[in-house]
Amino acid sequence: MYDDSTSTAGHGRVLNREQFVAYAKGRIDAATTLLDRHARMAGICSCGRALPCPLAQSLARTAAHFRGRLAAVAGSAPPRRGRRPRAR
């Protein structure tokens, strides 16, 4: 039977708080793990791309985004100040 409340799989999926926290933590872990493969070397990223490495930037943005969302969900979001994601 068609259930409207649970059928929005994919983009519009609604997660409850616990699910979102688990999801966000997973995304942060994944991004952080992948970021370990992108270290600045002499003039290039360790993945072989030119600096700034677009992949590393994207991963850092993803991690920062979900850290911010987690903080917001936890109700401990600091007012939007430029808290820098941990540089690796």
**Positions in the binding site for Zn ion (CB under 5 A):** 38, 45, 47, 49, 53, 55-56
Q: Which of 75-80's residues contact partners 24+ apart within 8 Å by CB, and which partners?
A: none
The smaller minimum CB distance to Zn ion, of residues 27 and 40, is found at 40
CB of 60 to Zn ion, least distance (A): 11
Shortest separation between residue 55's beta carbon and Zn ion, angstroms: 5
In the complex with Zn ion, the residue whose CB is nearer, 24 or 59, is: 59
The encoded tokens of residue 29 equal 């872990």
Report d(CA 66, CA 31) in Å as an integer.
10
